[in-house]
Amino acid sequence: MTDRKIPKSLAGPSRRAFMAGSAAMTASLFAPKALFAQDYPTAQINTTGLAVTDDTVTIGILHSVTGTMAISETGSVQAEKLAIEQINAQGGILGRKIEYIQEDGASDWPTFAEKARKLLVNDKVASVMGCWTSASRKAVLPVFEQNNGMLYYPTFYEGLEESPNVIYTGQEATQQIIAGLNWVNETKGAKSFYLLGSDYIWPRTSNKIARKHIENFMDGCEVVGEDYYPLGHTQFNSVINKIRLKKPDVIYAIVVGGSNVAFYKQLKAAGIDMTKEAPIVLTISVTEDEIRGIGGENMEGAYACMKYFQSLDNDNNIAFVKAFKDMWGEDIVIGDVTQAAYLGPWLWKAAVEKAGSFDIDKVREAQIGVELETAPEGYVKVHENHHLWSKTRVGRAKLDGQYEVVFETADLVEPNPFPEGYQ
Amino acid sequence: MFSDYSMSELGAIFAMQGFAGLILFSVFVLMALGLAIIFGQMGVINMAHGEFMILGAYVTYLTSNLFAAWLPGVFGMYFFVAMILAFIASGALGLFIEWAMIRHLYKRPLDTLLATWGLSLILQQVYRSVFGAREVGVSIPDWMMGSLPVTDMIEVPINGIFVMVLATGISLAVYYMMFRSSWGLQVRAISQNRVMADAVGINTAWTDRLTFGIGCGVAGVAGSAFTMIGSTGPTAGQLYIVDTFLVVVFGGAASLLGTIASAFSISQAQSIMEFFLSGSMAKVLTLLVVVGILMIRPQGLFTLKLRK
Amino acid sequence: MERSSNRLFTTQDILGFAVLAVIIFIVLPMALDSFRLNLFGKYLTYAFVAVGLVLCWGAGGILSLGQGVFFGLGGYCMAMFLKLEASTPKNTAIQSTPGIPDFMDWNQLTALPWWWEPFNSLFFTMIAVVAVPVVFALIIGVAMFRRRVGGVYFAIITQAFAAILTILIIGQQGFTGGVNGITDLRTLHGWDIRTNDAKEVLYFVNAGLLFACLLIAQFVRKSKLGRLLIAMRDQEDRVRFSGYDVASFKIFIFCLGAAFAGIGGAMFTLQVGFMSPTLVGIVPSIEMVIFCAVGGRLSILGAVYGALLVNWAKTSLSESFPELWLLGLGGLFIAVVMVFPNGLAGVYAEHIAPRLSGLFGGKTGAAKSPKETPAE
């Protein structure tokens, strides 16, 4: 049903092809098969001098644990460590235990670049799980391309990028946006939208795509306002007044960080009750993680559109949530990016085993088409553009800070980082 | 842009926008008062101002948890207790910092700036270790989160009124203490001539400590109040620091009246421009106007004695 | 001031410069692998700013908390040139408007803004790296110093400038690259700056420029101007009453500091490969002051050691104890201010130099000892 209004380029011609191939590959990847290190001599599986010994392989974790971004990146670090521990408990990769070197990007982009270089050049890590903001990814990208490293990047982001040295485990903008807009239009009859965001590349690009989609592909729908506020802005009364004046059906909000808290608290204080859906608030930037800071009572009734919610009801996710809480504490919450970060080590493991080698070039080649049936979000598959095929879901925030899933796309949505017709 | 709306709608929107400007004004006053007291009277730049505010916010968070656990019946009232505790906590930390650090540096004002910056880094890390890197959600009593419908169109946020009342109350209290109490007299005497004040028997050391403590305490109350409108996390203090400094600098630093006047002009300018322009552009334009005026009048709107 | 200060170099100065030259040109390149050497190259770019701060703050008593602005302006000028070179129509064929930087294309710009055009020329860029920060400093300096604004007040106004420029850069992302900064810089006139060889060459260029700046700074300090600055710092009115134009001296020294910072910024861009607003704002500006304070605010050589030491500590501490790093840095700030107001150079002058001069027969005794009280 969501395909109806998705332009051709997004629906994608290759879906049939991958459906056909998937069954055979799944069997070989996930059949329980003991891998012993002696079957894979180090000299053969590591021809480029990576940090692989006869019984260990070293990877890097590169996130901010200090500075303003520590708030967001902590969850990703936790998820990656959980995945590594689980993989090791299952016997590791090619019979080798994963060891990790954790570096602090300190919310500072030059530091990210410096640490990325250290991980690749000095430590010779076999892959890196890391980065969160677009700015940090842009800063490390040349380092990874020059030193031929492999980065697993967990955040939903603006697209417009397709590096051979990055696997994007979060959704790019079109995947996340279009299904949600169609849903709110079809089930809620929404016609007018007010676009709002923090002032940097991701919200701006996302709103650009949203605007193009609303104006060009949704009949009779219009954008009645578009506004951006600096990162860290804490006063939203003026824009709330503007919203009242325009009376949109939907407030499409991509506010991030500390501004988020201010925005939703002030929205509620101004008498806009999101449980009454007049207007509907639809966001793509508030995960369960952010609700902890905002407060469930201030977020109740808002809709979020992303690929994962902690409340997803499937066996993979129930096991994942339990393992996560066992490791990091009962009162922890898991957001979309945390789940995407959890996929990183697993996707890499699958690619290494498929390639039978840790060599970056071989892993890169093997990575395309890798499927993960054990993903908490459900089945995912790596597209040849290094992004993941994934479902998009809409959740409604509840008082307890969790989302109730109200919609999910019938099929996996194809990643399309350079969407034609949306530029 | 207004042709589509009826007169009553426009009237209502402008009324609410005016109110939004007043809320912003109150927020600025709350943020800047503590800094202005310390800077204006002691010549000390407290770069850890934002962290003192966040201490107040964390105290509010702890108090709300305590009330929820032990006194759920009077949860609606916890906020007042929290503000008093925030004042005490931030004030006490202020007294300690003055004793341990600041008093050794009165002859080197530039160095207090560096030392308090170091302090702010340490406090941030302490908050992170104690409360975690994530923001904490402070639950606000229900009666403070709604809005009052004045007419069909006009709704006035209660927390906005609360912030305004608080800002007015604290400004009056500070005014009273500064200009009507003997402590205020001593503070002003010291800021005019420290040696002479000492000579006539004013306990300058204790007065300084108290001034610094009160400035920090006011910051704590501001932080406590801001849990209603903003976020509470280890680095949230930095969100406020730029605006705070601009308000104080623009006002002319040494003058409390100047601080209030500058908070008023910046908030109104920003609020009006935000309505007609994109939020980011409004912020930049406001800042540019402030800078432009500072270029012509670098000593700020109101100032007397900063010329060297 | 000191008896021997009329000469450009005392024996001790020559010794100090020589030791630093040996460390930077010989010891570090020999001891470090290419990755670490590149890191030290990055630290040395901060030393440019720290040396400028010694002149402004240590000698002149003008504490600027906005040196990041000048560092950033120099860095952005260089980044604009490199970005234009990297954005050939061939490299950017995927964009809707090929030939303009990628971030402009993402922000629906369809043509290069006019003020980007001159940065197609390397010659213009090299002038701009120095000229843009200097013009900026000139405007700020004239506005402030002519009206006799100084001390703490000057410090927070410059800090406001750092905040404003950051917000401007972030807000105008179509023209500046926004939060991400200007990234993915590749070649300088066809020469790939990303290779290890290039980084090594850049390290030496950087070190050479730093020494040029150090010599200029030394010259200024030993000139009449330098002595007037110190006189102004301690008794501004007396200098003014003696008929000197105090404001002009201050403006000059502030502009010189800005020029150093601009060169540092440009070298940063070349060595790190991008420029972003995080290097312009309040935090880096204050950190640069701490480099200077740790080294010793009165010693230009100390500033270089300070920049190297603090950054090296930052890197190694945050590698082993990331959570403790902020505590360590904060403690360092406080310790330097409270216990060692003259920084490393002060420790050297008070505890090490006397013993050394004992060894050398006391010929140069106390010639360099900065027994002065710190600014203000």
Structure tokens at C18: 């020589």
Total structural domains within chain B: 1
**Is the ipTM here above 0.90?**
no
The answer to whether B291 contacts C341, with C-beta atoms less than 8 Å apart, is no
Domains assigned to chain A: 34-171+312-390 (3.40.50.2300), 173-306+394-408 (3.40.50.2300)
Determine contact, residues C368/C12, Cβ cutoff 8 Å. Answer: yes
- In chain B, residues with a C-beta closer than 8 Å to the C-beta of A234 are 226, 229-231, 239-240
Given a cut of 90, is residue A97 above it in pLDDT?
A: yes
CA distance C340 to C349: 12
The verdict on residue B101 lying in a domain is yes
B180 falls within a domain: yes
Residues 224 to 263 of B: which have CB under 8 A from any A CB?
226, 228-236, 238-240
CA distance C266 to chain B (A): 26
Radius of gyration in angstroms for the set of CA atoms belonging to chain A, rounded to a whole number: 21
> Residue A3 burial by CB count (10 A; 0-12/13-18/19+): exposed, middle or buried?
middle
Give the whole-angstrom CA distance, residue A373 versus residue A360.
24
> B109, C376: Cβ pair inside 8 Å?
yes
For the residues B2-16, what does the mean pLDDT come to?
73
Angle at the Cα of C62 from the Cα atoms of C58 and C68, rounded to 5 degrees: 95
User: Of A137, A152, C172, A90, whose CA–CA distance to B278 is shortest?
Assistant: C172
Q: What is the mean pLDDT of residues B119-148?
A: 84
Question: Does the predicted TM-score (pTM) go above 0.90?
Answer: no
Per-residue pLDDT of chain C (376 residues; tens, 9 = 90+): 444 456 777 888 888 899 999 999 999 999 988 888 988 999 999 999 999 999 999 888 888 989 999 999 999 999 999 999 998 888 888 788 888 898 888 887 888 999 999 999 999 999 999 999 999 999 999 988 888 877 777 887 888 888 888 888 887 888 998 888 998 888 888 888 888 889 899 999 999 999 999 999 999 988 888 888 888 888 888 888 888 888 899 999 999 999 999 999 999 999 998 899 988 988 889 889 988 988 888 889 999 999 999 898 888 877 777 667 778 888 888 888 888 888 888 888 888 777 777 776 544 444 444 444 443 3
CA dihedral (C368, C369, C375, C376) positive or negative: negative
What does the pLDDT read at residue C360?
63
Least confident segment among A232-236, B25-29, B297-301, C284-288 = B297-301
The whole-number pLDDT of residue B254 equals: 66
Q: Could you tell me if residue B12 is inside a domain? A: no
CB contact under 8 A, B158 and A269: yes
User: Which amino acid is present at A223?
Assistant: V
A280-283 vs A250-254, strand pairing mode = parallel
What's the pLDDT at A77? 95
Whether residues A199 and C171 touch (CB distance < 8 A) is answered with: yes
pLDDT of residue B307: 40
Q: Which residues numbered 39-78 in C keep a CB inside 8 Å of some CB on A?
A: 39, 42
Please give the DSSP secondary-structure letter assigned to residue A387.
B
Residue appearing with tokens 């994109």: B278
Report pLDDT for A34.
Answer: 55
Are C107 and A109 inside 8 Å of each other by CB?
no
- What is residue A108's predicted lDDT score, i.e. its pLDDT? 84
Question: B44, B98, B117, B299: best mutation site toward chain C, by most C Cβ within 10 Å?
Answer: B117
**Rounded CA separation A359/A357 (Å):** 6
The pLDDT, as a whole number, for residue C13 is: 84
Phi–psi pair at C355, nearest 5 degrees = -70, -40
- Please give the pLDDT value at position A28: 40
So what's the pLDDT on residue A137? 94
- Per the structure, the complete domain to which residue B195 belongs is given by 24-237
Residues of chain A with pLDDT > 70: what percent?
91
How far does B244 lie from chain A, in Å, by closest CA? 13
Is residue B8 very low, low, confident or very high in pLDDT (cuts 50, 70, 90)?
confident
Q: With an 8 Å Cβ cutoff, are B122 and C327 in contact?
A: yes
Cβ-defined contact of B231 to A237 (cutoff 8 Å): no
